[in-house]
Amino acid sequence: MPLKKKILELKKRKEEVLQGGGPKAIAKQQAMGKMTARERILALLDESSFHEYDLFVEHSAREFGMDGKVLAGDGVVIGTGTIFGSPVAIFAQDFTVMGGSLGLMHARKITKIMDYAIKMRMPLIGINDSGGARIQEGVNSLAGYGEIFYRNTIASGVIPQISVILGPCAGGAVYSPALTDFVFVVDNISKMFITGPEVIKSVLGEEITQEELGGARVHCETTGNAHFFANSEAECFEQIKKLITFIPWNNSKKALRFEPKHPKAQYKIGDIVPDNPNKPYDVRDVIRAVVDDSDFFEIQEMWAQNIVIGFGRLNGDTIGFVANQPKVLAGVLDCDSSDKAARFIRFCDAFNIPIVTFEDLPGYLPGVDQEHQGVIRHGAKMLYAYSEATVPRITVILRKAYGGGYIAMNSRHLQADFVFAWPLAEIAVMGPEGAANIIFRKEIMEAENPDEMRKAKVEEYKEKFANPYVAASRGYVDTVVEPEETRKFLIHALEISLEKVVERPSRKHGIPPF
């Protein structure tokens, strides 16, 4: 039967492609603790949901021994599937096939699946494991990268884009992940750098290992290039699946609604924040005390820890949380924490995720280092991101709200929709000690006992200004709430903001500070 014969031929062809780079290369991959490209996709997607395309694509190179060389699927697997029933487009570079190197057809496969994702409005997941531009294909591989970067940019803010680094990702290749929304890395497996150790040694004479230069930990703790750290590929896939539950398919949808749940009883919201404004605490406990099931999914947990960002749910709906972390540097704002918060705020705004801000900070970090690192433009990113955001925005001032920090943390003056304050809140230009020393300097210096006078004046200042009622008397704070009332006020504010509309002057796009 011709059809039966043809089907057998199809099966044989498929079988050949599914061998990837062959048993030897696969064994090498496994010895490094890495899955193969297809194993990764199958581990990540819902069972039986993966549909692969372009299996039979062949490379088009003819030079440098490439003529007649067979490269299964040209070193990349592409397709679509679902995660918890939500559609995703996916590509995974296959390191067993010529090191997952990117040639013209390999890039065409990736851009094809990116085009599907953009057209069908579904999230895109890219699994990177590649030696970079296929050297034998010269400018054709560079062209391929350019086509990918272009699509990453066009897709930005339209569909969520997720990059997973599960092997080397070097040279200009790192710019695709950098253009995406979330970067996942795995300890001892992920490596990202623009120029590797060899080039650094020959140009600068500096010696460094790949891991020290651009390993998973480096990008989670030091550079801020990665958002999620995992100890194994399996753990990494669980993180991706969890992220998918919090975000919508595209920018015209909302994230899926879940069954509402109460926070866990172990998080007692009234017992977390100490009365003494100088005593630290973990602001993540405040978030856990208000969100459904106390389930807070933190992003960039290891970098710029003086600010905390992540997703949780209130009454079943996804919320983006931004919170100063008094446990680290007293929760001050600086270059990195401003960058971290600003990018997250823009993601939430692009994807219809309301933002709740918990505020407790003494202001911006002073110092020559910060000034020379450009804290002016970095800090401005946060002002810009909050001001630009049209999703519902709610602030709760937990304790300190001083100076520029008060304005930057989604204040009423940046058009926050609701601002609530706890009774402990101190809203002022600066802390009582500093303020009293300046405005009562003369009285303190001229007093018989300057120390006594200073204490008295600090108390006087605290009494008058270090409270939420001055701001509340001007309407800058909508109401002062007891900690236990916080969840109720947040849920109500979000419910009545569902149809929020903001009119803005028309423009091509703004020019945020970079």
Q: Which of 99, 214, 326, 431 binds ligand HXC (CB under 6 A)?
A: 99
Query: Which residue lies nearer to ligand HXC by CB, 34 or 227?
Result: 34
Q: Among candidates 57, 75, 50, 188, which has minimal Cα distance to 125?
A: 50
For residue 11, give the amino acid letter. K
Q: At its nearest, how many Å lie between ligand HXC and the CB of residue 114?
A: 16
**Measured distance CA(187)–CA(208) in Å, rounded:** 17
- Give me the numbers of helices (H) and strands (E) for the chain, helices first please: 20, 17
Q: At its nearest, how many Å lie between ligand HXC and the CB of residue 159?
A: 22
Query: Which residue lies nearer to ligand HXC by CB, 101 or 239?
Result: 101
Q: Decide: helix, strand or coil at residue 416.
A: coil
Query: Which residue lies nearer to ligand HXC by CB, 95 or 184?
Result: 95
Q: At its nearest, how many Å lie between ligand HXC and the CB of residue 343?
A: 22
* Binding string, residues 202-221; x marks residues near ligand HXC by CB under 6 A: --------------------
Q: At its nearest, how many Å lie between ligand HXC and the CB of residue 54?
A: 20
For residue 193, give the amino acid letter. F
- Scored b (16 or more CB within 10 A) or e, 402-431 reads bbebbebbbbbebebbbbbbbebbbbbebb
Q: Does 73 bind ligand HXC (CB under 6 A)?
A: no
Q: Among candidates 29, 186, 187, which has minimal Cα distance to 94?
A: 29
Which pair of tokens denotes residue 227?
């958002």
Torsion of CA 438, 442, 445, 446, to 10 degrees: -160
Cα Rg of the chain (Å, integer): 26
Say how many residues touch ligand HXC, by CB under 6 A. Answer: 15
Q: Does 40 bind ligand HXC (CB under 6 A)?
A: no
Q: At its nearest, how many Å lie between ligand HXC and the CB of residue 218?
A: 17
Q: Does 37 bind ligand HXC (CB under 6 A)?
A: no
Query: Which residue lies nearer to ligand HXC by CB, 32 or 204?
Result: 32
Output phi, psi for 490, to 5 deg. -65, -45
Query: Which residue lies nearer to ligand HXC by CB, 71 or 375?
Result: 71
**Measured distance CA(220)–CA(225) in Å, rounded:** 7
Report residue 295 CA to chain centroid gap: 17
Query: Which residue lies nearer to ligand HXC by CB, 29 or 337?
Result: 29
* Binding string, residues 415-454; x marks residues near ligand HXC by CB under 6 A: ----------------------------------------
Which pair of tokens denotes residue 173?
């290749």
Q: At its nearest, how many Å lie between ligand HXC and the CB of residue 154?
A: 17
**Measured distance CA(267)–CA(285) in Å, rounded:** 7
Q: At its nearest, how many Å lie between ligand HXC and the CB of residue 264?
A: 45
Query: Which residue lies nearer to ligand HXC by CB, 110 or 361?
Result: 110
CB neighbours (10 Å) of residue 188? 13
Q: Does 75 bind ligand HXC (CB under 6 A)?
A: no
Query: Which residue lies nearer to ligand HXC by CB, 133 or 269?
Result: 133
Query: Which residue lies nearer to ligand HXC by CB, 105 or 383?
Result: 105
For residue 390, give the amino acid letter. T
The two beta strands, 426-428 and 393-402, are parallel
* Interactions with ligand HXC, residue window 158-177 (CB under 6 A): 168, 170-173
Q: Does 178 bind ligand HXC (CB under 6 A)?
A: no
Query: Which residue lies nearer to ligand HXC by CB, 171 or 248?
Result: 171
* Interactions with ligand HXC, residue window 125-164 (CB under 6 A): 131-135, 142, 145
Q: Which of 98, 125, 307, 428 binds ligand HXC (CB under 6 A)?
A: 98
Q: Does 200 bind ligand HXC (CB under 6 A)?
A: no
List, in order, residues 6 or more apart from 124 with CB less than 8 Å away. Answer: 88, 89, 90, 113, 114, 117, 155, 159, 160, 161, 162, 180
Q: Taking a C-beta distance cutoff of 8 angstroms, is the pair 169, 177 a contact?
A: yes
Give the binding range for ligand HXC (CB under 6 A) out of 78-86, 98-106, 267-275, 313-321: 98-106
Query: Which residue lies nearer to ligand HXC by CB, 155 or 471?
Result: 155
Q: At its nearest, how many Å lie between ligand HXC and the CB of residue 30?
A: 13
Q: At its nearest, how many Å lie between ligand HXC and the CB of residue 346?
A: 25
Q: Taking a C-beta distance cutoff of 8 angstroms, is the pair 177, 128 a contact?
A: yes
Q: At its nearest, how many Å lie between ligand HXC and the CB of residue 134?
A: 4
Output phi, psi for 391, to 5 deg. -70, 160
Angle between helices 375-388 and 335-350 (to 10 degrees): 20
**Measured distance CA(357)–CA(321) in Å, rounded:** 6
Q: Among candidates 352, 320, 287, which has minimal Cα distance to 498?
A: 352
Residue with nearest beta carbon to ligand HXC: 131
**Measured distance CA(314)–CA(490) in Å, rounded:** 8
Query: Which residue lies nearer to ligand HXC by CB, 60 or 390?
Result: 60
* Interactions with ligand HXC, residue window 308-367 (CB under 6 A): none
Residues that bind ligand HXC (CB under 6 A): 98-99, 101, 131-135, 142, 145, 168, 170-173
